A and B are shown apart, each in its own frame.
Chain A
Amino acid sequence: MMKFDVVIIGGGLSGLTCGIRLAQEGKKCVIISSGQSALHFSSGSFDLLNSLPDGTRVTNPLESLSDLSLLNPTHPYVKMGKERFAALAEESKQLLEGVGIHTKGSYKKNHYRITPLAMVKSTWLTMMDFLSTDDPKTFNCKSFALFNFVGYLDFYPDYLSEKFERMGVKTQKFSIDLSSVERMRRNPSELRSTNIARLFDEEEARKNLIRILEEKAADYEVVLLPACLGLENANVISELSKAIGKPVYVVATFPPSVAGIRAQYLLKQKFMRLGGMYMLGDTVNRVDMKENSINKIFTVNHGDIPIVGDDYILCSGSFFSQGLVALPDKVIDPIFGLDIDYSPNRQDWYTANVYDKQRYLTFGVETNNDFLAIKDKKIVRNLHACGAILGGFDALKEGCGSGVSLLTALYVAEEILRK
């Protein structure tokens, strides 16, 4: 058998966050992850709370918590309470900082990020290199030089420049045509953000880029690039900015997200440096339970060698990562078969208009107020759940997915440490 203090199932934002927090306190942890996480689609920002369930816009997440508790008493934030919410939100930012993910923003005041389709949306924390604004109507500058790489199709300068102009910032589009990128275009489908990022992780390739930016952006205040730089080298943007002597920001692209992949990597590195074991590409396929506590679990890769822990944390995500699976007549978690908060009537799961609130997004595992999981209406004593697999919130409509992942992960880690 393999023996750990804490066995964490799920290796995305939530799993890594609680893994790091626990390992920092000397807990021997393993993370079992069935594949790479949703961080690969990160916008470069982390949302905490953008809207209440009734659609009211949120500007100060902390202040809106009382309203949230009236509208949805089962929301994970409401379960943890206002005080813990504030403390854990601050702690989340510190944890990211300690890992090397530098962000701007506060849980007391939302700011605004720019989506790949040029929407302006509120958010909590944004990575330093990303373009953001405190005022949703304009930016704090006069002109943008907006660049794209010829052949890179996951970025839409036309939408962006139109939007920026409407927000009162003079925006000029430029194309960068590099022979090194040209070579990659031989492949009709695979000129992706990560291919470009790898190229500019090399200092030599950046020299060329600097020359082009200097020359073309001479008359503009701020340089904007698609967020496809800095896969391994986190300092690429600040180095470019220093080299050309003016601010350089990136704007989110369609996936894969270079910044998200870097974040995943940094979190994983930190976890492993603290002595954590990360098992990628493995799936839990059998659980041994006794009297409402987990004895051991088995995985596809490790076969008959069980993985044993004092505590278990389930953070295998929502439908995307198959933490939750929708069958024709029910929603289940395929690992433990926990009690799930969902409507038994399939007609209630979704509405025809895809842009409307979809109820299935609020489905998830049921827990008590300390996020202990529930099976057959009884609390499982050593199994916590955190992150997107939890029920009671709508990450899309409420804009709270990353916040729930981070805060519940830290909450659960501290619960285990308090034992």
Chain B
Amino acid sequence: MDLINKSDNNFEQCIKCTVCTVYCPVLAVNPDFPGPKHGGPDQERLRLKMPSFYDEANKFCMNCKRCEVACPSNVRIGDIIQKARLKYSRHKPTVRDFFLSHTDLVGTISTPVAPIINSSLKLDSTKYLLEHVMQIDHRRLFPTYTHEKFVSWMKKQEEEQRRFKKQVCYFHGCYVNYNYPSLGKDLVKVMNLLGYGVQLLKKEKCCGVALISNGYFAQAKIQGRINLNSIRKAAQNNISTIATSSTCVLTMRDEYPHLLELDNKDIKEHIELATRFIYRLIEDDHFDLSELKFNQKKWKVAYHTPCHLEKLGWEYYSIELLKRIPNIELTILRPNCCGIAGTYGFKKENYDYSQKIGAPLFKEIEEGNFDYVVTDCETCKWQIEMSTSKKCLHPITLFAMALE
């Protein structure tokens, strides 16, 4: 409730209580980062006076939004820092930043030659080159590329999917399309069992989160506009758009209006996380899950809440879905950041910090003796699989597995 006039970036609501500094994962490991309070509301006062006060060390902000979740005064600290980067940073993106952020372009080039790319990304010589030429840390494992893009597979399903009376659009995101189509296939399977046909959006571009964090705001805005138009078109036909990636959802719902100044008010409620959409089916439409044939496999599962899902406040829906799998032994992991923050953890200058941030999470996972770790974010998955001995799945995948 906006009771009092506030500025666009409500920094004046900050009462300097320091709570955000306690929950900033970066500040805990990297003293070069000014921190959410100082880099956010404190320095904003100075920047408004004179843009040259902008501190380039704000680039260390991962935009995880943990400061915003913790803030008792509802200050949009993460947005303040990201907006300041957008407005004042003199840093120009590098070749590496281009490569990491233009996921559609890189994905389109890579998928036709996926086997070659995948095996060469594992070579020491490639890693050496990536580190020394591109400043991408040699220890970072890349997700493998798929030979058949998810959208190509979906085109073959069109006819069958159209048979369902009820329809939903799927915003698959770059990772499902270029790297991990099996998650998309799991989603189609689950939605079909729930009585929904799945279709693609008229036109889908990368949500733009990597572009935003690497300084390509104009390009992010172009892609955002395309996505919003597609989602709008679907909404006009009363079809909601669901996504499996929590970060894509957060970006399209919150970052578009807050950072890119794209108006999405009319369709915000049509952008859903898949697990939330399913929750509605079960709770409001009374879909009877006992109609589904669950196998009786026993799994010990740990759920990791991605930072952006915590910001959305929607981990509830994923957890509720998991709880409905018979015989599951579910542990909710402590609210720790995994440290990768999308492209952040790929960068040589961030790699060590990234692993340090994730260390408490990795430790908890290793000590728990779990069969699987489950999370809604693809980059959390990469980080957890690279840094622990456990396989990390999406809740939809585990749900699909329980129905095999």
Contacts and interface: CB of A to CB of B under 8 A. Distances in A.
The 5 A-B residue pairs with the shortest CB-CB distance in the complex, in nearest-first order: A301-B313, A281-B69, A35-B72, A187-B31, A186-B31
Contacts of B69: 35, 280-281
B18 A187 contact: no
Given A36-B70, A303-B269, A325-B3, A282 B35 contact: no
Interface of B: 1, 3-4, 15, 17-19, 21-23, 27-28, 31-35, 38, 42, 68-74, 269, 276, 279-280, 283-284, 310-314, 316, 332
B316 A34 contact: no
Contacts of A40: 17-19, 22
B71 A35 contact: yes
Most chain A CB within 10 A, of B31, B35, B276, B332, is at: B31
Contacts of B68: 281
A320 B16 CA distance: 11
A304 B268 CA distance: 11
Interface string A175-208: 0000000011111011010110010000000000
Interface in A261-285: 261, 272, 277, 279-283, 285
Interface in A287-332: 299-305, 320-322, 325, 327, 332
Contact of B31 (A41, A190, A256, A299): A190
A184 B31 contact: yes
A272 B332 contact: yes
Contact of B35 (A41, A190, A280, A325): A190
Contacts of B42: 189
A167 interface: no
A81 interface: no
Contact of A37 (B4, B72, B311, B313): B72
Contact of B19 (A35, A184, A190, A300): A35
A305 B31 CA distance: 41
A34 B74 contact: yes
Given A255-B17, A279-B313, A304-B269, A36 B23 contact: yes
A330 to B, nearest CB: 11
- Please classify the interface of chain A as helix (H, G, I), strand (E, B), loop, or mixed, using the class held by over half of its residues: loop
Given A35-B69, A189-B38, A334-B3, A195 B23 contact: no
B19 to A, nearest CB: 5
B311 to A, nearest CB: 7
Contact of A256 (B4, B19, B283): B19
Given A40-B18, A279-B316, 13 more contacts: A35-B71, A36-B23, A36-B71, A37-B72, A186-B31, A187-B32, A189-B42, A190-B21, A192-B22, A198-B28, A305-B280, A322-B73, A327-B3
Contacts of B279: 305
Contacts of B280: 305
A320 B72 contact: yes
A354 interface: no
A189 B73 contact: no
A2 interface: yes
B32 A277 contact: no
Interface string A323-346: 001010000101000000000000
Given A36-B23, A194-B21, A301-B312, A187 B34 contact: yes
Contacts of A1: 283-284
Nearest to B1: A334
B361 to A, nearest CB: 13
Contacts of B269: 303-304
30 contacts: A1-B284, A35-B19, A36-B23, A40-B19, A40-B22, A41-B17, A184-B31, A185-B31, A189-B35, A189-B38, A189-B42, A190-B21, A190-B31, A195-B28, A255-B17, A256-B22, A272-B332, A280-B310, A281-B68, A281-B70, A285-B1, A301-B312, A301-B313, A302-B313, A305-B276, A305-B279, A305-B280, A322-B74, A325-B4, A334-B3
Contacts of A256: 18-19, 21-22
B311 A36 contact: no
B67 to A, nearest CB: 10
User: Which of A189, A190, A283, A299 has the most chain B CB atoms inside 10 A of its CB?
Assistant: A190
A35 B74 contact: yes
A285 B1 CA distance: 6
B311 A281 contact: yes
A147 B33 CA distance: 28
Nearest to B312: A301
Contacts of A37: 72
